[in-house]
Amino acid sequence: AATRTENRWHGTGSTSDGHAVKLLANVGSVTDATAALDAGAEGSGLFRTEFCFLDATTEPTEAQQREAYAAVLRPFAGKPVVVRTLDAGADKPLPFLDVDAEPNPALGVRGLRVAFDRPGLLDRQLAAIVSAAEDTGADVSVMAPMVATPAEAAWFAERARAAGVGRVGVMVETPAAALCAGELLSEVDFASIGTNDLAQYTCAADRMIGALAELNDPWQPALLRLVAMLGEASRAQAAPVGVCGEAASDPLLAGVLAGLGVASLSMTAAALPSVGAALAEHPLKTWRRAAEQAVSAPGAAQARERARAVLDG
Ligand code: PEP
Ligand code: MG
């Protein structure tokens, strides 16, 4: 079966009846970019820019940032790349960002929140991204991490557009953002669901604690319901919504996410062939039925079993 399914992956994501789902790779380095393209990625749905500066003890200059981003973007010339602005905080420390220690770092000043009292940091990064995009010919969009409200999305969108960004988006990583999906999407051009964080905030279960893995399972019906809300808002607003968390690399869940209205899936490059093959096994209407079953299940394990049963039936 493995051989048969691998043969059905042609580097362009689609269900068996031709409904396109962009298959993208998550990247943070030139090595990742090369691996992504070797694996057949159609582009990148998440470039984690903080990975470029893990050792920097002072803020990289605009020129240094431009060079670092251009190196990762260059292999993607002519292809779409979603660049994420710095995602750091007490839970993901960057040596050059002096953030205070916090009792609950996952609930603290992280992601876009870091930029609220240092907008210059964000503006310098946006300028560097825009010039790196021009240098390389990659089709660049920019999104912000850890957005909670439509007002925050509007604040980010205004700064990004002023910097010359053509397509602006936000990550949906908080239940608040998902619950206000329509208003959020009216401020930006697209959204990308970060299921790693959205799962931890939905079930209030720290993603770093192994004992809570079941609550962090992306098959949790509560999480899938938030994804469904985003799928509906995406249709209503004609603004695409993607997924860039680990959930996208589970072949069965990838199809379910497509059934919920997700237009693109961004994952670790190694997962692309199996996800591409699984997606191409069934038509969109079957993935929609699998999604309906999963969303109404009483727990994560049952959601997975019910989705599987639809495909096997
Ligand atoms: C996520 O939260 O799902 C995500 C993609 O961002 P990160 O894993 O970098 O927090
Ligand atoms: Mg995240």
Q: Does residue 255 line the site of ligand 1, with CB under 6 A?
A: no
Q: Is the ipTM of this complex over 0.85?
A: yes
Q: Which residue has the tokens 């953002």?
A: 177
Q: Which residue has the tokens 């209205």?
A: 261
Helix (H) or strand (E) holding 45: strand 44-48
Q: Does residue 28 line the site of ligand 1, with CB under 6 A?
A: no
Q: Does residue 169 line the site of ligand 1, with CB under 6 A?
A: no
Q: What is the pLDDT along the chain (313 residues), one digit of tens a residue?
A: 344 444 456 779 999 999 999 999 999 999 999 999 999 999 999 999 999 999 999 999 999 999 999 999 999 999 999 999 999 988 888 999 988 889 999 999 999 999 999 999 999 999 999 999 999 999 999 999 999 999 999 999 999 999 999 999 999 999 999 999 999 999 999 999 999 999 999 999 999 999 999 999 999 999 999 999 999 999 999 999 999 999 999 999 999 999 999 999 999 999 999 999 999 999 999 999 999 999 999 999 999 999 999 999 8
- pTM equals 0.96
Answer for the pair 33, 44: CB distance below 8 angstroms, yes or no.
yes
Q: Whose CA is nearest to atom 1 of ligand 1?
A: 194
Ligand 1 atom index nearest CA of 196: 3
Ligand 1 atom index nearest CA of 192: 5
Ligand closest to CA 192: 1
How many angstroms does the Cα of residue 196 sit away from the middle of ligand 2? Answer: 6
Whats the size of the chain, residue-wise?
A: 313
Q: Which H, E and C letters describe 202-252, residue by residue?
A: HCCCCCCCHHHCCCCCCCCHHHHHHHHHHHHHHHHHCCCEEECCHHHHCHH
How many angstroms does the Cα of residue 17 sit away from the middle of ligand 1? Answer: 31
Q: Does residue 197 line the site of ligand 1, with CB under 6 A?
A: yes
Answer for the pair 220, 304: CB distance below 8 angstroms, yes or no.
no
Q: Does residue 240 line the site of ligand 1, with CB under 6 A?
A: no
How many angstroms does the Cα of residue 297 sit away from the middle of ligand 2? Answer: 26
CA dist 192 and 200 (Å) reads: 16
